[in-house]
Amino acid sequence: MKKRLLILEDGTVFTGTAFGSERASQGEVVFTTGMTGYQETISDPSFYGQIVTLTYPLIGNYGINRDDFESISPAIRGFVVRELAKTPSNFRCDLTVDEYLTSKDIPGIEGIDTRKLTRIIRSKGSVKAILTAADEEVNMDEVVAKLQATPAITNHVHEVSPKAAYPSPGRGKRVVLIDFGMKHGILRELNKRDCDVLVVPYNTSAAEILAWHPDGIMLSNGPGNPEDVQEGIETVRNLIGKVPMFGICLGHQIFSLACGARSFKLPFGHRGGNHPVKDLRTGRTDLTSQNHGYAIDIDSLKDTDLELTHIALNDGTCEGVRHKKYPVFTVQYHPEASPGPEDSNHLFDEFIEMMEVEAGKGKQHA
């Protein structure tokens, strides 16, 4: 088996066994705490540009199947596990993780101390790193200098958003879904409710969206810093008050920024399927699926028309807002799960109900 190195920008080196693609790869190292759902994790566009570490020690034991993808093309830069299952056992299994990552040209490393790596990320924050072959020609000083000099990626959403609009037809409410890096689970939930969905790129103008006469607008999840998505912020700002909206993850952040709130980078993000979130309106606590590196500053909501609706019980950060005047609500977590608990799946029903209420008001005025 070929050896591979994971070199962090602080000079820490992990030596493990290579799997997946043979190429070298560079990205931001993050960790996620899910015990299952590695296929959805690999294919989640919100991981664009990142080398993903799984904290659960055994990964790959049920293989890769045709049903659990969250995008067609995975956007991760690398995959880090403690132990990779070589002979998965599941009736849905089509490929091993190794075979799938090889086919997608994504490198992986196994056999390293993922607990130590996670502790480094928790203490120092997300770090840049490179996956490369373990050979005598590797100059550690040069690699570390290169990593430290590499600027942060700012075009995440541009890389994962579709280049053209496409429909996902239904006979119910018409929803324009602005795709900032959408997980397919969001589209599946709208399809279940028979919505007539039009998926559009992140830089679609408000005028173009309104020309489709939508009953509602969905703001999807996506990768990166919300402040880098100025086109999306401008579009959302011009849509507020015109059509009901529901935002998830990056969509929540973009909506909040469009209303005048501020965002900040979390030290190591929220990634996993076991994050407790409290609904301040009902007192109910849901276990949620999360994948984000930025959050909205709660103090910055004071000078906006936004009301805080949800908080994270682990660290008290903002997990949801609602507009005080218009029919818009957003959450930082993933109610469609995929992977993770489906405690908050009811939010899609609330979105449908909100559109129906607004449609009824329109008929009354007519």
Which pLDDT score is estimated for 256?
98
Whether 364 has a pLDDT exceeding 70, the answer reads no
Q: Which of 9, 110, 249, 310 is catalytic?
A: 249
Whether 366 has a pLDDT exceeding 90, the answer reads no
Q: Are residues 74 and 210 located together in one domain of the fold?
A: no
Which pLDDT score is estimated for 138?
85
Which pLDDT score is estimated for 207?
98
Which pLDDT score is estimated for 361?
86
Q: Are residues 100 and 220 located together in one domain of the fold?
A: no
Q: How far is CA 143 from the centre of its chain?
A: 29
Q: Are residues 332 and 308 located together in one domain of the fold?
A: yes
334 is catalytic: yes
Q: What percent of the chain has pLDDT over 70?
A: 99
Q: Are residues 10 and 142 located together in one domain of the fold?
A: yes
In this prediction, residues 22-31 reach a mean pLDDT of 97
The CA distance from 51 to 291, in Å, is 14
**Residue 95 structural domain:** 3-153
Give the CATH number, domain containing residue 238.
Answer: 3.40.50.880
Q: Are residues 47 and 143 located together in one domain of the fold?
A: yes
Whether 194 has a pLDDT exceeding 90, the answer reads yes
Q: Which of 184, 252, 275, 334 is catalytic?
A: 334
323 is catalytic: no
Domain boundary among 116, 136, 153: 153
In this prediction, residues 15-28 reach a mean pLDDT of 97
Which pLDDT score is estimated for 135?
81
In this prediction, residues 220-235 reach a mean pLDDT of 98
What is the per-residue pLDDT across 274-322, written as a single tens digit (0 to 9) for each? 999 999 999 999 999 999 999 999 999 999 999 999 999 999 999 999 9
Q: Are residues 123 and 183 located together in one domain of the fold?
A: no
Residue 184's nearest CA partner among 160, 158, 212 is: 160
Give the CATH number, domain containing residue 70.
Answer: 3.50.30.20
Q: Give the Cα-Cα-Cα angle 210, 215, 217 (nearest 5 degrees).
A: 70
Q: Are residues 148 and 200 located together in one domain of the fold?
A: no
Whether 365 has a pLDDT exceeding 60, the answer reads no
Which pLDDT score is estimated for 1?
82
Whether 363 has a pLDDT exceeding 70, the answer reads no
Q: Are residues 64 and 200 located together in one domain of the fold?
A: no
Q: Give the Cα-Cα-Cα angle 308, 332, 253 (nearest 5 degrees).
A: 80
Q: Are residues 9 and 103 located together in one domain of the fold?
A: yes
Which pLDDT score is estimated for 362?
72
Count of domains observed in the chain: 2
Cα dihedral 295, 297, 300, 302 sign: positive
Cα dihedral 59, 62, 66, 68 sign: negative
What is the per-residue pLDDT across 86-109, written as a single tens digit (0 to 9) for each? 999 999 999 999 999 999 999 999
158 is catalytic: no
The CA distance from 25 to 289, in Å, is 27
Q: Are residues 91 and 142 located together in one domain of the fold?
A: yes
Domain boundary among 126, 153, 180: 153
Q: Are residues 242 and 359 located together in one domain of the fold?
A: yes
Which pLDDT score is estimated for 301?
98
Q: Are residues 198 and 117 located together in one domain of the fold?
A: no
Domain boundary among 127, 153, 179: 153
